[in-house]
Structure 1
Amino acid sequence: MILDDFIVVTKTGLFCKYGDFYLDPKEIVKHAVISHAHGDHAIGGNLNVYCTEATALFMKHRYKKFAGAEFYIKPYATAFDLNGVRISFIPAGHILGSAQVLMEYKGVKYLYTGDYKLQPDKTCEPIEFVTADVLITETTFADPGTQHPVAEEEILKLNATQNNIMLGAYSLGKCQRLISLMNDHCIEKRILVHHSMLPFIKIYEQMGINLGRYEAYDRKVMKNNVANMVYMVPPMVFRSYFKAINVIRVFATGWKHLQNNHEIQLYISDHADWNDILFTVEKVKPTQIWTNHGSGIQLKSHFERSLVVKLLN
């Protein structure tokens, strides 16, 4: 029997009282099961952290000695017990080391997706599907009007100009995917990377991911070359350099409102879109869907005659 309160929303995050742990907690807790290392899912300071190897490396870089008191590194598809709940990590395809969390309790399977994507991405493990009774899915882009374009085609937009480009991107996941895509499809571009992104890139390489060629940003290189340079920067730097001259400003994201006033609109997302979510439901075959991280209203309407859909947030 599905337990309606197996996962509940608290101010600290998603809590499983049956296993006494939190999924991606927002505040420090005793037992934290972390889906991936983005800052809105992985904070520092938890007493016991359960995650994949890559996620641990990213967290230890970001939070240093405050990353967590004790890390328990779990390979994919290797079950472990946490206070009576059987847990396995399943690749989520979002960024390197990202995991869905499969939880089994009293014969019922609950699958928490974390953030996930279905598009191919050479820089991380591809998503895998498992069946579950309850699918706890992110709904960041759960809108029938949202369909992400093919990233390999979208990146070709950068070839439309020879002007230098300031490319805004998240430092973890998006940055590494863009470097790989540009190496494959924008071979005339010279890729310069902001210094804050380099440690994450090095962890990707440490984990065996070959991103291709790139180099650390050098002011003289950028100044002395007036064409085909791409300078990749994190969002805060991108916003602070809003008056940058002699560059075309581009920000890689699936959000339309973040593309405003940019000469090139680069719609590359690391999340599932509407069709991806529906495809995931087909593969997981749940009897209930619980939605999280975004609005699940349209998903609830879509499945109103066939599946129970509960909005967790």
Structure 2
Amino acid sequence: MSPDFLQFNEYGLYCLAGDFYLDPSKPVKNAVISHAHADHAVAGNTNVWCTPETAAIMRHRYKKNAGANFNERNYGDEFMINGVRIRFLSAGHMLGSAQVLMTYQGTKYLYTGDLKLQADKTCVPVEWETADVLITETTFAHPEVKHPDVTSEIGKLREIKYNILLGAYALGKSQRLINLINEHVPEKKILVHHSILPINKIYESFNFHPGVYQPYDRKLMKAANEGYIYIVPPLTFNSYFRAVNVLRIFASGWKSLQQRNDAELFISDHVDWDDILDTVETVRPTEIWTLHGNGNFLREHYANSLQVKILN
């Protein structure tokens, strides 16, 4: 395997052999994009390779500046970029999220993008294939991070008798929450911020229906103790820090985002420590390259068995 196959620079992770970037942080000529979250999918690239779902979300968010040329590929489709053979595998992170399996000179490199192993009915479950090199996110790669059971977490909302202001990222997390509430706390009524509605429609256009919800209605939220959950994006959530007759909750795996709220809701769309170890066991790489977080704990854990290279 070539140590120069992937290089990290000011634009992000660059594949020298294929002359393309993986999730570049600035616009580039050739971009392979794993999913449509803004920290992975910037506007203004010339040539973009991604799933149809990711392309649809990028076009919605970035309009005419989404990208000059979109090359949409479904999961499992093989394609070539300058001699590098590529195939998308589902990452289970959100609608359209993909791992990027790259084969070059007989070596297989698997770039996970953002990865989730927990069940989620609003996207395709994670898929696996063995690879020589695993390039993994390490957002929560700490031995002390163990995500709680999602069913138990969402069940906390059942005990709350007040209306709830529920903060969540508009893309991915909000749709998952709508689905979880519908399935596990169906007695609650869901209201959705206007900025989330068009993303829900994109999900539905790809036959991933979050569940029952309705647009925000101010009169309904003013009715005390009626069991409404109003899902809002972070900016709106932070602007309502003095909201009355509601309990403020933010759904996230980050402890810092649980502070100064009325209750905690630890629901993450990333792998935790045990999930990363399961990923390594399933992919069976001979090398691990890490980015998007702290790879030092993985390096220590595999010090006597695998080479761990920290890219960023």
With the length of structure 1 as denominator, give the TM-score of the two structures.
Answer: 0.99
Match for residue 143 of structure 1?
142
Match for residue 239 of structure 1?
238
How far 1:240 sits from its partner (Å)? Answer: 1.1
CA contact (8 A) 2:192 2:231 kept: yes
Task: Please give the alpha-carbon distance, in whole angstroms, between the structure 1 residues aligned to 2:143 and 2:4.
Answer: 29
CA contact (8 A) 1:157 1:264 kept: no
Match for residue 170 of structure 1?
169
Match for residue 28 of structure 1?
27
Q: For residue 161 of structure 2, what is the amino acid of its counterpart?
A: Q
Q: Does 1:210 align with 2:217?
A: no
With the length of structure 2 as denominator, give the TM-score of the two structures.
Answer: 0.99
Match for residue 55 of structure 1?
54
- 1:59-98 equivalences under 5 Å are 59-98=58-97
Task: Please give the alpha-carbon distance, in whole angstroms, between the structure 1 residues aligned to 2:80 and 2:170.
Answer: 33
Q: Does 1:156 align with 2:155?
A: yes
Match for residue 105 of structure 1?
104
Task: Please give the alpha-carbon distance, in whole angstroms, between the structure 2 residues aligned to 1:140 and 1:246.
Answer: 35
Match for residue 258 of structure 2?
259
Task: Please give the alpha-carbon distance, in whole angstroms, between the structure 1 residues aligned to 2:151 and 2:35.
Answer: 24
Task: Please give the alpha-carbon distance, in whole angstroms, between the structure 1 residues aligned to 2:34 and 2:26.
Answer: 15
How far 1:257 sits from its partner (Å)? Answer: 1.2
Task: Please give the alpha-carbon distance, in whole angstroms, between the structure 2 residues aligned to 1:154 and 1:161.
Answer: 13
CA contact (8 A) 2:162 2:224 kept: no
Q: For residue 46 of structure 1, what is the amino acid of its counterpart?
A: N
- Matched residues, number: 312
Q: Deviations over 1:127-159 (max 9, x none)?
A: 011000000000000000000011111100001
Q: For residue 296 of structure 2, what is the amino acid of its counterpart?
A: I
| Secondary structure at 1:110 match in 2 | strand
| Secondary structure at 1:37 match in 2 | coil
Q: Deviations over 1:97-149 (max 9, x none)?
A: 00000000000000000000100000000001100000000000000000001
Match for residue 289 of structure 1?
288
| Secondary structure at 1:152 match in 2 | helix
Q: For residue 236 of structure 2, what is the amino acid of its counterpart?
A: V
Task: Please give the alpha-carbon distance, in whole angstroms, between the structure 2 residues aligned to 1:19 and 1:47.
Answer: 15
Q: For residue 142 of structure 1, what is the amino acid of its counterpart?
A: A
Q: Deviations over 1:243-291 (max 9, x none)?
A: 1111100000000111112221000000000000000000100000000
Q: Deviations over 1:180-218 (max 9, x none)?
A: 000011111110000000111000000001221100001
| Secondary structure at 2:297 match in 1 | helix
Task: Please give the alpha-carbon distance, in whole angstroms, between the structure 2 residues aligned to 1:251 and 1:227.
Answer: 20
Match for residue 189 of structure 1?
188
| Secondary structure at 2:210 match in 1 | coil
Moved over 6 A (4+): none
